[in-house]
Amino acid sequence: MNNFKHYKGHGIKLSSFELIIDNERYPLEQIVSFELIETNKLPTLGILFILIGALLLLDEGDQFVMGGILFFSGLLLRIIFDSSYTLRLTTSNGNITALQSTLRREILDVITALDQAMAENRKRVESFGNILESPYIDVRRE
């Protein structure tokens, strides 16, 4: 019934009807919103070391060595303490951390697919509502 045409990967499957995260099912109707959260670990310190180190590298004296040390220390800080990204969903049951990655592109791919699936789902639900409101269809409860 569900073909996962919108997205499949990283433990996430996404169809036009539901989102499955590690075998936990969330109907798209229950998803209220979603967001990308970026967490930086020591980015300012690494950039500061790189900038000060680059300035000190311009000097030919004793500060040249200190500049090199600061510059490469800053590069190491940026590499070791890289940013991480999180996809957080808000559902009718609360907040869910759906996916975490150091690659922003992975999260953006899921967000793009989720946005398309929710738009498709919204259109389907609206068209279904319009059918029920049609003057040509008699809906009765028994």
The domain ranges of the chain are: 7-40+83-114, 43-80
| Contact (CB, 8 A) for 97 and 88 | yes
Taking CA 137 as the corner, what is the angle to CA 135 and CA 138, rounded to the nearest 5 degrees? 100
Residue-wise pLDDT tens for the chain (142 aa)?
446 577 777 778 888 788 887 888 888 888 888 888 888 766 678 888 889 998 888 877 778 888 888 899 888 887 777 778 888 888 888 888 888 888 888 888 888 888 888 888 777 767 665 544 544 344 444 4
Distance CA 50, CA 53 (A): 5
| Contact (CB, 8 A) for 139 and 132 | yes
pLDDT at 110: 86
**Helices 62-80 & 43-57 angle (0-180, nearest 10):** 150
pLDDT at 60: 77
pTM score, whole prediction: 0.61
| Contact (CB, 8 A) for 36 and 85 | yes
Half-sphere exposure (Cβ direction) of 82: Cα atoms closer than 13 Å:
8
pLDDT at 41: 67
Taking CA 120 as the corner, what is the angle to CA 115 and CA 125, rounded to the nearest 5 degrees? 125
